[in-house]
Amino acid sequence: MEEDMFIAPVIDMAATGRNIVKLREAAGFTVRDLQNIFGFATPQAIYKWQHGTAMPTIDNLVVLAAVFGVSMDAIIIVDENINTQISA
């Protein structure tokens, strides 16, 4: 029996991080500003997003999109050259 395979796109975390930096700067916010908006005790999560070592949660993406005045799709960078196969 042949398994159904789905080709799923992959988020480019490094490019997404660079995009978050670009959008933050274009919107005129500092890392400290975002830290205060999110109520984070430290800015580490924001630095991890910007360096591409972690992704914002969906809740945080909603807030970032509102703060930056863009859609969530405008924040996330998908690598069109890399796909992953998922068994259905």
Domains of the chain: residue spans and CATH: 5-87 (1.10.260.40)
pLDDT at 1: 43
Q: What is the pLDDT of residue 47?
A: 98
| CA–CA separation, 48 and 59 (whole Å) | 16
- The model carries a pTM of 0.85
Tens-level pLDDT at each residue, the chain (88 residues)? 445 666 778 899 999 999 999 999 999 999 999 999 999 999 999 999 999 999 999 999 999 999 999 999 999 999 877 666 656 5
HSE-up of residue 47 (Cα within 13 Å, Cβ side): 4
Picking from 7, 6, 1, 9, the residue whose alpha carbon sits closest to that of residue 73 is: 9
d(CA 29, CA 45) in angstroms, rounded, equals 16
pLDDT attached to residue 80 = 74
